[in-house]
Structure 1
Amino acid sequence: MSGHGAPDQEIFDASGLRVAVVAASRHTQVMDGLLAGAERALAAYGVADARTVRVPGTFELPVVASALAAQGYDAVVALGVVIRGGTPHFDYVCNAATDGLVRVGLDHTVAVGFGVLTCDNDEQALDRAGLPDSREDKGYEATSAALLTARTLGEIAAPTP
């Protein structure tokens, strides 16, 4: 399982961070689990007022994440799922979403949590969605990673004494 070897994430007070979550709408059960995981992480880190924006699918995540980053959010969490089919569409969407979200982080110097599941089948997606029977909680993990990265960006941007 891909979660093997993942580090324990340090919980800290992130209540001062502005956070946005952008989530695809396709594959409702998986997306509901990813969003619930993101909400659990936000609560654990003390972020009470995150903005959530829904988009049609995973392909649309980067453009909306970029618009949110331009509004000054400290962290943007992108949540989506792409299930492999019988055409190259899977590869195009996965590559576009990944490349676009990396670009958002680099262009805006903002923490981007990558919570996009790229799975061969529905069972793999459900197993990573943070649902009661899931083995992993990628919504929580992506949000935690974004918050930790936002803290690090804030630390390195602060003037050195």
Structure 2
Amino acid sequence: MSDAPHIMVVESRCHEDIADELVRGALGELNKAGATHHRVPVPGVLEIPAAVQIAVRSMDVYTARRRYDGYVALGCVIRGETTAYDLICSRAMHGLHDLVLRHTLAVGTGILTVENREQAWVRAAVGGRNRGGQAARACLDMIELKRQFRLYPR
């Protein structure tokens, strides 16, 4: 088996064009590092923690599949006219944080929480802030930290 990390990239498809750019940045970074990856689309940001939890549980039940060494969470929440924005952002981030601590997971978070589409594009653009690439790099860095403490994989 290869030493290259195997990463699950969970992508919210709510804002597809922005999601595609986040994924482009993340995959660029993962490919540069020689990591393998599996993309898992979900409808929205709230479903991201659920997808990671499902993957973690499935590895406990179905051991024939290669384990994920890390997870990259990508999505975008744009503030609207209701309080749903605050709830979605809070619940999604809390859900991911809980999984990280409960299961000692390596997770890179590239979930944009912005006021408008223009802010989202500045943060998502591979030629700009490249939050997708940053999330992938954070995931890889946390995998390396786990290796240092002999908690790798999982």
**TM-score between the two structures when normalised by the length of structure 2:** 0.87
Task: Name the counterpart of 1:67.
Answer: 54
Q: What is the percentage of aligned positions where both structures have the same residue?
A: 35
Q: 2:5 aligns with which of 14, 17, 30?
A: 17
Q: 2:149 aligns with which of 129, 133, 156?
A: 156
Task: Name the counterpart of 1:10.
Answer: none
Q: Which runs of 5+ in 2 are unaligned?
A: 60-66
Task: Name the counterpart of 2:89.
Answer: 94
Does the residue aligned with 2:23 lie in a helix, a strand or coil? helix
Distance of 1:102 and 1:90 partners within structure 2: 18
Paired AA for residue 40 in structure 2: V
After superposition, residues 64-143 of structure 1 pair within 5 angstroms as 64-70=51-57, 71=59, 72-132=67-127, 135-143=128-136
Q: Which runs of 5+ in 1 are unaligned?
A: 1-13
**TM-score between the two structures when normalised by the length of structure 1:** 0.83
Query: Comparing both chains, which one has the higher relative contact order based on Cα–Cα distances under 8 Å and sequence gaps of 6 or more?
Result: 2
Query: How far 1:130 sits from its partner (Å)?
Result: 2.1
Q: CA RMSD in A?
A: 1.5
Equivalent pairs, count: 142
After the TM superposition, list the runs of 4 or more consecutive aligned residues in structure 1 that deviate by more than 6 angstroms: none
Query: How far 1:73 sits from its partner (Å)?
Result: 1.5
- After superposition, what is the alpha-carbon deviation per residue over 1:25-66, rounded to whole angstroms, capped at 9, x for unaligned? 01111100000001101111111x311100000010001012
Task: Name the counterpart of 1:44.
Answer: 32
Task: Name the counterpart of 2:140.
Answer: 147
Worse-superposed segment, 89-98 or 103-112: 103-112
